[in-house]
Amino acid sequence: MAEPAVLSTTPDRAAAATGTPSRPRPSRRRVSTSRWVLRLVALAYVGLLVALPVGLVLWRTVDQGAAAFVDAISGPEAIAAFRLTAIVAGSAVLVNTVFGVGAALLLARYRFRGRALLDLAIDLPISVSPIIVGLALVLAFGWTTGWFGPALQNAGLQVIFATPGMVLATAFVSLPLVVREVLPVLNETGLEQDQAARSLGANAVQRFVRITLPTIRWALAYGVVLSIARTLGEFGAVRVVSGNVGGQTQTVTLLVDERAEQFEPGAYQLSVVLIAVAALCIVVISLLRPHGKDG
């Protein structure tokens, strides 16, 4: 007795047996070519927007020699600018770290009226020009025309054209970075561990230190690093609220702009220092951060 014919499971033969047209499958060579084209396009895009400008700055710095580099970063104005930049950036990062963790916990673990509005307001600095941020701070805290200016003047406090205003402006433009790194991690982990610890008698501080902080540590670290890189390079808002007085309210970015506009030496060298610090922070946290399940 003859064995019944068994239909092949390959798509082409199955389609021929059932009478349905088969779909052509892309060849491996075509898929490989498409991948290489996409890679080349991505590399060209990054190269034109990032690598080429940064490379030109590095080349101009190296071309002027080591002596010019040392002179540019060791002058009195440069040292004062580095010191002020460290104070402003450090203060802004500290403020955003505390606010970012608190806002992320609030959005992830609580439901309240205005939650969507708060979530939207956190992303506002991304869509608002830093120049407008600086102008708004002047209108709010200026001594003569600001809403709170007369009260601050009577109290002997100066915000605009001083370090506090620069910290406020820098903190505003870097506001979303910590929140947007920590919030997805909290949403993914959920509330089970926190609720279990609460049922065992742990208070809020104990739950944060022993459960929440270890869970978000790498997201928090990456958000802090991004905030450092962002605050070091802030220019627009700081220029409006600082007054740009050399040796007093002039950060490194403002000093770079001044020397570039006046064709004075040192702009490239100072820029390289900022690039190196920001790149070093990102590289270090990328190397230390685990890339597996715990990352």
Are the C-beta atoms of residues 235 and 130 closer than 8 Å to each other? yes
> In this structure, what DSSP letter does residue 26 have?
P
> In this structure, what DSSP letter does residue 291 have?
-
- Length, in residues, of the chain: 295
Mean pLDDT, contiguous 10-residue spans, the chain (295 residues): 47 52 59 83 88 89 91 93 96 95 92 90 90 92 82 86 94 94 92 85 88 92 93 92 90 94 90 92 82 54
Q: What is the pLDDT of residue 274?
A: 93
Are the C-beta atoms of residues 87 and 163 closer than 8 Å to each other? yes
Report the chain's terminal Cα–Cα distance, integer Å.
63
Tokens of 137: 């701070």
Place of tokens 């020699």: 65
Q: Kindly write down the DSSP assignment for every residue of 130-183, as one continuous string.
A: HHHHHHHHHHHH-TTTSSSHHHHHHTT---TTSHHHHHHHHHHHTTHHHHHHHH
Are the C-beta atoms of residues 223 and 180 closer than 8 Å to each other? yes
CA angle, 96 then 277 then 127, to 5°: 45
Place of tokens 């950036």: 89
Residue 234 buriedness (CB in 10 A; 0-12 / 13-18 / 19+): buried
Place of tokens 């104070």: 87
Q: Whole-prediction pTM value?
A: 0.82
Q: What is the pLDDT of residue 282?
A: 85
CA distances from 146 to 137, 141, 161, 163, 237 (A): 8, 5, 13, 17, 16
Q: What is the pLDDT of residue 1?
A: 45
